[in-house]
Structure formats: C-alpha cells, structure tokens
Amino acid sequence: MNFTVLISVYDKEKPEFLKAALESIWTNQTLRPSEIVLVKDGILTPELDRVIEQFNIVAPLKICKLEKNVGLGHALAKGLNFCSNELVARMDSDDISCPNRFEKQIRLMTDQPDLDISGTNIAEFHNQGDKVCSHRRLPSQFAEIKSFAKRRNPLNHMTVLFRKSAVISAGNYHPFFGYEDYYLWVRMLQNGSVIANIPEDLVLARVGNNMFARRHGFRFFKQELKLQKKLLRMEFLNHREYIRNIFLRAFPRIFPVWGLKLVYKFLHK
C-alpha cells in the first residue's frame, strides 16, 4: 500500500541528526514509503541543504519550500496538502524510526479500516549517545485512549500514521506552539475518529539535555492555559477536569526545572 512520510525541518536542526532521521525512514526500513514530503520551514543552512540534496538522489523526495519560518503547525498544514497518498506517517527531523515501524503500522491500518490514526510507544535517548534513558508508553485501546486524552496527549506525535482525509476533515494542523498535535487529536476525537497505539517502541526520540528547560517557563504556562480553555469550550473537558489539568499541567510549567522533572516522572509512571 502506498503511503507518504511527512517531515518538517528548520535552520536550527543539526545536519547529522537530519541525516540519521532520513536514513531511518528510507534506507533502513523493511517497508519503504512511496514518497517523502519534506517541508523546509524557512531558509536552511548550507549543511542541511546538502544533506537534503544527497538524500534526494536515492529517495522519492518531494520538497515544500516556505520562504520564512512559520512554525510547526503551519509547516505541517502546508506539507499535508503536498502529500499524494491517503496514508501519511509523521516523522521528526531528529528522531529515528525503527526498521519495522512502517510495516507494522501499515498492517494495522490495513487490517482495521475504521482506524484513523495509529501511534506507537517511544524510547527516549540523549543527544550524546544511543543509550535509552526513558520510555513513553501510552494506552493502546481506543476506550483507554479517549479517557487518557482528557489528561495528557494520547499519541507520540513523531510516531503517528494517519488517514489524510480524517485530518483534513478535522481542520488540519493549526498553529499552536507546543500543542499543534494534541489540539489536532482532540478535534479528531470530537469528529469521531478512532485511534490506536501499538504497544511497542517503534521510534527512538532524541530528548537532549535541555528537554525540561524547553518545556518550562511562562510562555508554556500561557499556552497550557490556552489549550485547557479551548478543551473546556469544546466540551471535551468538564469543569472538574479543567481545574485538575490547570494544577497538574499548567502550574508545573513555572516550577523550577527540578520540580518539572518530578512532575514529568510522576505523570509518566
């Protein structure tokens, strides 16, 4: 079955990380995509362009160029319109897909035609080596996922494979710093989409030493408040669930980084 991989890259990415990501979705896969849509989110460095040019020689690459950096939500919305196939897999430009990732996800989506999104668990590793430091495991069954989504993101974004028509029907990606994917999944759930997760680590996610610093601060606090208010207005959350999330999700964003680490560890048990 034909499918597309959608990936976005901007100028702050490291060329060696992008090269490893691209190799993992083409060179090392047991089932290869029929096309790879790569969104250049603004002007890239010469080193990144060189990696893309070299990859374009060996893989079916379709490039979507954006004149300036517009952020992940805008970039993915533009890129999705470039995708030729109904089945679209997401990939981040600094992560690594396991060799059998697409084979397993395509089989699941083929066997369950009512399924609109499939995700997987991830194994997280630091930039300086390939040793796994943690895992992000999510519920696999739809009923559990719907309940889980009221508290946390029910999908690991870099692992998803979805039906393009279902994403477009829910309004496509929206610009929403830090929450582009979570907001989309909720809208899809509200639209009647069915979601499942494969309970295996099929993507290695690069977290880096500054992961908590990047998720910390007043900007993320405001974005979390904005998200929770939207979910309340959509009636995805009731008032009790909204208040709970403000205390467990929003306020920790302005804790000291060590405090955020403790909350993250607690929520991921």
What is the pLDDT at residue 90? Answer: 98
Residue at a domain's end among 209, 234, 249? 209
The answer to whether residues 101 and 63 belong to one domain is yes
Q: Are residues 98 and 229 in the same domain?
A: no
pLDDT for residue 246: 95
At 267, give phi and psi (nearest 5°).
-70, -25
Residues 98 and 180 occupy one common structural domain: yes
Mean pLDDT, all residues of the chain: 92
Q: Residue 47: phi, psi to the nearest 5?
A: -65, -40
Same domain, 249 and 186: no
Give me the pLDDT at residue 82, please: 96
Residues 201 and 226 in one domain: no
Q: Are residues 205 and 219 both part of a single domain? A: no
User: What pLDDT is attached to residue 216?
Assistant: 62
- Asked whether 48 and 15 are in contact (CB, 8 A), the reply is yes
pLDDT value for 251:
82
CA distance 30 to 155: 23
Q: Give yes or no: residues 245 and 172 share one domain.
A: no
Asked whether 211 and 125 are in contact (CB, 8 A), the reply is: no
Query: What is the reported pLDDT for 212?
Result: 47
C-alpha torsion angle, residues 64, 69, 71, 76 (rounded to 10): 0
- Indicate if 245 and 122 belong to the same structural domain: no
pLDDT tens digits, 31-50: 999 999 999 999 999 999 99
Of all residues in the chain, the percent with pLDDT exceeding 90 is 81
E strands, 17-155, are 35-41, 61-66, 87-92, 96-97, 117-125, 132-136
Per-residue b or e along 83-118, where b marks 16 or more CB atoms closer than 10 Å to that residue's CB: bebebbbbbbbbbbbbeebbebbbebbeeeeebbbb
Rounded to the nearest angstrom, the gap between the alpha carbon of residue 174 and the centroid of all alpha carbons in its chain is: 13
Q: 105, 261, 135: which is closest to 204 by C-alpha?
A: 135
d(C-alpha 214, C-alpha 50), whole Å: 28
pLDDT computed for residue 209 by the predictor: 47
Residue range of the domain that includes 30: 4-209
pLDDT at 21: 97
- CATH classification at residue 93: 3.90.550.10
Residue where a domain terminates, one of 180, 209, 238:
209
**Are residues 205 and 156 in contact, defined by beta-carbon separation less than 8 angstroms?**
yes
3-state helix, strand, coil in the chain (%, to 5): 45, 20, 35
Looking at 209, 239, 258, which one is the last position of a domain?
Answer: 209
The residues of the chain scoring below 70 in pLDDT are 128-130, 208-216, 255-269
Pairing mode, if any, of strands 117-125 and 132-136? antiparallel
Q: How many domains does the chain have?
A: 2
Q: Are residues 147 and 38 in the same domain?
A: yes
pLDDT of residue 174: 97
Strand runs (DSSP E) across 14-100, as ranges? Answer: 35-41, 61-66, 87-92, 96-97
User: Are 143 and 26 members of one domain?
Assistant: yes
Pairwise CA distance, residues 240 & 61, whole Å: 47
